């Protein structure tokens, strides 16, 4: 049976298609429309999924939306009632949209689907799946486990903000939930807002900023904002949050605890903001650890699956792994709402299979195929497209491609690497990546300021050969989706001088922490991607080639985009980003492009083409 899953109308719209339990394709709409976190109906992503599956409307067994709009509306009504008359301003903003659009989501979906292909908007085939069940299904069904605890945490779905489910064979049942307004995701988002970053996209920055600070405010958070029980269940103290009734996350009472008003995005970061980031990170880790410890003891399950926006907190994930309550952890690479499209499709498929007594489909190491589920381009197609836009390129055979790219990396060049199928989820995993030499002491700053055009404090992640990960990092497990953080091995670290130890906050940025400084955060941590021959042989060959030249089996791997831009999808997107930044060398398929050979007239102002995130 073929099932199409859709997530849309909030942020990060996406589509995914599943055939008999196997994932055929999945992509986020933003990659096609070039609008970051595009919330619109994912028409391009749906068309792409249908094309890859070679399917038309008649072939589909079901189309599944990733949440239940009426349940969400019920939550809204009850929230307004509970807080009336305080939420009037928010009500006034929200109701017109609900009444004119969101209550009619079934009609809207049918209309949009019908516009893609006649017959696709079939009311009899349209299903709705609960938000957290979609997340749970996206984590459990693609995992390699036959039984697992599944924990989902995010801002809010319909009512649930966190859920615990048990997966056994093709059964998946939620047995515990925490409900709105008590939300770990919203607590984190409140600090994201308060420290001057954008909610729903700046959470990564808070996590990246945390190691520059001390968790000085953790006690104040526990004392005032959140009451956490030993089993990890919690309640927020709503006196300090305004997201139930207002148009912001927090108000002045929140600021009174933490020493002032929220930082405006244009204001400079101070030590206080770093301490706040460290504090909310510490609180999040404590809550997650209490939850996982308690659930491990309660269920005796030895495998853990994670999804939901909070599961993208790879620092917390790393701590859960090291805590040792679970033998193995699988984190859905598209843990945010985009992954809900995939989960909804899988949930509907297994719902039918259970009735028929069908079996669970599993794969090794998992069923996500390295998250390479997006569009790809054939070599002739790449050549035609590059020729049409005036790019100067040469075609290389596989060996030449690897040798020349590895040489470019070893000589300190920033390399654009566009290969095979695009990744599904927020991370570039070696098919739409900017790569660089991690040994360079200046690379982190250079990449942030001259290539990515983003804040200088933000760390970069290492991609390392799976068989060499334990030689360089304190980790000996698969982390193919860059969702586990571990420290650089002590033997690879560089000792700090007495003077360097005196430095505070952002001053620490310039201190070299290891032999691979470009991917070593200031607390020696690294967000690791292990690279596997089974899922990405070409990327693996490139890292091996780099190791032969340098002795280092690690590369800097960051997404192929600039600040505010969705990760590149097509060869044209890649060329445009290459020409608009200080990337020196670009490999698209077997085509090699060097910056100094291009027509400078083709360079456009790429940096200001996108709103900063």
* Interacting residue ranges for other proteins, rule: CB under 8 A: 9-10, 70, 74, 76-78, 80-81, 90-104, 106-107, 155-156, 180-181, 186, 189, 199-200, 243-244, 247, 249
CB-side exposure of 320: number of CA atoms within 13 Å?
33
Mapping DSSP onto H, E and C, the string for 557-589 reads: EEECCCCCCCCCCCHHHHHHHHHHCCCCEEEEC
**Peptide bond between residue 181 and the one before it cis (omega within 30 degrees of 0):** yes
Identity of the residue, 80 or 481, whose beta carbon is nearer to other proteins in the bound complex: 80
Distance CA 530, CA 492 (A): 18
Nearest distance from residue 7's CB to other proteins, in Å? 13
Nearest distance from residue 158's CB to other proteins, in Å? 11
Number of H helices, E strands in the chain: 20, 21
Do residues 186 and 241 make contact, with C-beta atoms less than 8 angstroms apart? yes
Nearest partner of 329 among 302, 359, 289, 358, judged by Cα: 302
Identity of the residue, 106 or 354, whose beta carbon is nearer to other proteins in the bound complex: 106
Do residues 607 and 580 make contact, with C-beta atoms less than 8 angstroms apart? yes
Identity of the residue, 135 or 466, whose beta carbon is nearer to other proteins in the bound complex: 135
Per-position b or e across 373-402, b if 16+ CB within 10 A of its CB: bbbebeeeebbebbeeeebebeebeeeebb
Identity of the residue, 90 or 559, whose beta carbon is nearer to other proteins in the bound complex: 90
Q: Count other C-beta atoms under 10 Å from residue 201's C-beta.
A: 16
Nearest distance from residue 372's CB to other proteins, in Å? 31
Q: Say whether 11 sits in a helix, a strand or coil.
A: coil
Q: Say whether 226 sits in a helix, a strand or coil.
A: strand
Nearest distance from residue 228's CB to other proteins, in Å? 21
Identity of the residue, 61 or 181, whose beta carbon is nearer to other proteins in the bound complex: 181
Nearest distance from residue 109's CB to other proteins, in Å? 13
Identity of the residue, 70 or 175, whose beta carbon is nearer to other proteins in the bound complex: 70
What is the β-pairing status of strands 160-168 and 171-179?
antiparallel
Identity of the residue, 242 or 444, whose beta carbon is nearer to other proteins in the bound complex: 242
Nearest distance from residue 544's CB to other proteins, in Å? 45
Identity of the residue, 51 or 247, whose beta carbon is nearer to other proteins in the bound complex: 247
Q: Which residue has the tokens 């900017």?
A: 434
Nearest distance from residue 155's CB to other proteins, in Å? 7
Nearest distance from residue 99's CB to other proteins, in Å? 4
Question: What's the token pair of residue 611?
Answer: 């709103």
Identity of the residue, 94 or 395, whose beta carbon is nearer to other proteins in the bound complex: 94
Question: What's the token pair of residue 591?
Answer: 């085509």
Nearest distance from residue 108's CB to other proteins, in Å? 11
Do residues 541 and 555 make contact, with C-beta atoms less than 8 angstroms apart? no
CB contact set of 268 (below 8 Å; sequence gap of 6+): none
Nearest distance from residue 201's CB to other proteins, in Å? 11
Distance CA 579, CA 597 (A): 11
CB contact set of 310 (below 8 Å; sequence gap of 6+): 153, 154, 162, 184, 185, 188, 284, 288, 316
Which letter does DSSP use for residue 319 in this model? Answer: H
Identity of the residue, 77 or 533, whose beta carbon is nearer to other proteins in the bound complex: 77
Torsion of CA 605, 607, 610, 613, to 10 degrees: -170
Q: Count other C-beta atoms under 10 Å from residue 118's C-beta.
A: 9
Identity of the residue, 99 or 389, whose beta carbon is nearer to other proteins in the bound complex: 99
* CA 554 to centroid of chain Cα atoms: 21
Nearest distance from residue 44's CB to other proteins, in Å? 21
Identity of the residue, 70 or 504, whose beta carbon is nearer to other proteins in the bound complex: 70
Nearest distance from residue 243's CB to other proteins, in Å? 5
Q: Is the dihedral of CA 449, 424, 389, 47 positive or negative?
A: negative
Q: Is 113 exposed, middle or buried (0-12, 13-18, 19+ CB in 10 A)?
A: buried
Q: For residue 594, what is the enclosing H or E element?
A: strand 591-594
Identity of the residue, 167 or 340, whose beta carbon is nearer to other proteins in the bound complex: 340
Distance CA 315, CA 319 (A): 7
Nearest distance from residue 101's CB to other proteins, in Å? 6
Identity of the residue, 231 or 613, whose beta carbon is nearer to other proteins in the bound complex: 613
Nearest distance from residue 102's CB to other proteins, in Å? 7
């Amino acid at each position: 049976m073929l099932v199409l899953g859709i997530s849309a109308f909030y942020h990060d719209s996406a589509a995914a298609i599943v055939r008999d339990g196997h994932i055929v394709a999945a992509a986020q709409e933003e990659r096609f429309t070039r609008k970051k976190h595009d919330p619109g109906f994912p028409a391009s992503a749906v068309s792409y999924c249908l094309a890859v599956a070679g399917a038309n409307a008649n072939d589909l067994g079901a189309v599944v939306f990733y949440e239940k709009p009426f349940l969400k509306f019920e939550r809204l009504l009850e929230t307004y009632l509970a807080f009336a008359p305080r939420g009037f301003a928010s009500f006034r903003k929200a109701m017109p949209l609900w009444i004119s659009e969101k209550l009619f989501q079934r009609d809207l979906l049918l209309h949009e689907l019908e516009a893609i292909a006649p017959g696709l908007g079939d009311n009899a085939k349209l299903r709705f799946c609960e938000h957290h069940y979609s997340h749970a299904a996206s984590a459990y069904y693609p995992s390699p486990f036959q039984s697992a605890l599944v924990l989902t945490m995010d801002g809010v779905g319909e009512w649930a903000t966190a859920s615990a489910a048990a997966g056994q064979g093709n059964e998946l049942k939620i047995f515990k939930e925490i409900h709105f307004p008590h939300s770990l995701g919203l607590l984190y988002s409140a600090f994201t807002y308060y420290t001057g970053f954008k909610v729903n996209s700046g959470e990564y920055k808070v996590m990246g900023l945390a190691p520059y600070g001390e968790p000085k405010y953790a006690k104040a958070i526990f004392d005032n904002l959140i009451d956490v029980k030993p089993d990890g269940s919690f309640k927020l103290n709503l006196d300090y949050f305004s997201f139930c009734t207002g148009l912001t996350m927090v108000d002045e009472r929140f600021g009174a605890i933490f020493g002032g008003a929220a930082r405006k995005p244009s204001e400079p970061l101070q030590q206080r903001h770093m301490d706040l980031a460290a504090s909310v990170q510490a609180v999040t880790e404590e809550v997650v650890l209490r939850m996982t410890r308690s659930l491990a003891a309660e269920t005796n399950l030895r495998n853990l699956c994670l999804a939901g926006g909070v599961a993208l907190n790879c620092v917390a994930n790393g701590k859960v792994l090291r805590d040792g309550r679970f033998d193995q952890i699988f984190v859905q690479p598209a843990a945010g709402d985009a992954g809900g499209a995939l989960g909804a499709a899988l949930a509907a498929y297994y719902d039918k299979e259970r009735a028929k007594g069908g079996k669970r489909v599993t794969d090794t190491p998992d069923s996500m195929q390295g998250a390479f589920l997006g569009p790809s381009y054939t070599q002739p197609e790449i050549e035609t497209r590059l020729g049409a836009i005036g790019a100067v390129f040469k075609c290389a055979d596989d060996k030449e491609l690897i040798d020349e790219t590895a040489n470019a990396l070893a000589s300190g060049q920033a390399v654009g690497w566009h290969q095979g199928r695009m990744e599904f989820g927020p991370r570039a995993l070696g098919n739409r990546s900017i790569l660089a030499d991690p040994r360079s002491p200046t690379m982190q700053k250079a990449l942030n300021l001259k290539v990515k055009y983003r804040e200088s404090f933000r760390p970069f992640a290492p991609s390392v050969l799976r068989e060499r990960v334990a030689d360089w990092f304190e980790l000996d497990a698969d982390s193919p989706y860059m969702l586990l953080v571990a420290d650089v091995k002590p033997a690879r670290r560089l000792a700090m001088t007495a003077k360097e130890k005196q430095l505070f906050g952002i001053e620490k940025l310039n201190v070299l922490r290891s032999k691979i400084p470009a991917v070593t955060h200031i607390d020696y941590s690294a967000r690791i991607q292990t690279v596997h021959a089974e899922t990405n042989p070409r990327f693996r060959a490139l890292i091996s080639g780099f190791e032969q030249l340098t002795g280092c089996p690690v590369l800097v791997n960051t997404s192929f985009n600039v600040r505010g831009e969705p990760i590149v999808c097509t060869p044209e997107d890649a060329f445009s980003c290459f020409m608009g930044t200080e990337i020196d060398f670009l490999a698209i398929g077997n085509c090699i492009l060097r910056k100094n050979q291009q027509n400078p007239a083709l360079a456009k102002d790429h940096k200001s083409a996108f709103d900063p995130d």
